[in-house]
């Protein structure tokens, strides 16, 4: 996961660090018991216009998709390797 995130130079990420909010990961994640949590936040500007009527923008979304797809594939592969 770290390698995929680090390769996405146009986006920021925090791995195993504190960030504003984080209730979901703190409340539901319990790595000691193999319960892992990921919090992913995307600004609207990565996939849509930020003004009414908030149209979806494929030209903005495509670079985001190019990062999210390998990230999600990494999550799936990790889970399959670890838990079958």
Phi, psi of 48 (to 5 degrees): -155, 170
**pLDDT digits (tens), the chain, 84 positions:** 778 878 888 887 777 666 666 788 888 889 899 888 888 888 999 999 999 999 999 999 999 999 999 999 999 999 999 888
- In angstroms and rounded to an integer, the radius of gyration of the C-alpha atoms of the chain is 15
Note the pLDDT of residue 10: 81
pTM, whole model, 2 decimals? 0.72
Phi, psi of 30 (to 5 degrees): -150, 75
């Amino acid at each position: 996961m770290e390698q995929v995130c680090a390769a996405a130079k146009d986006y920021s990420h925090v791995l195993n660090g504190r960030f504003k909010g984080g209730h979901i990961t703190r409340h539901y994640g319990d790595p000691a018991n193999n319960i892992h949590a990921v919090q992913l936040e995307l600004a609207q500007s990565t996939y849509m216009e930020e003004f009414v009527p908030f149209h979806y923008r494929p030209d903005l979304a495509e670079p985001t998709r190019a990062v999210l797809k390998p990230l999600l594939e990494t999550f799936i592969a990790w889970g399959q390797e670890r838990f079958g």
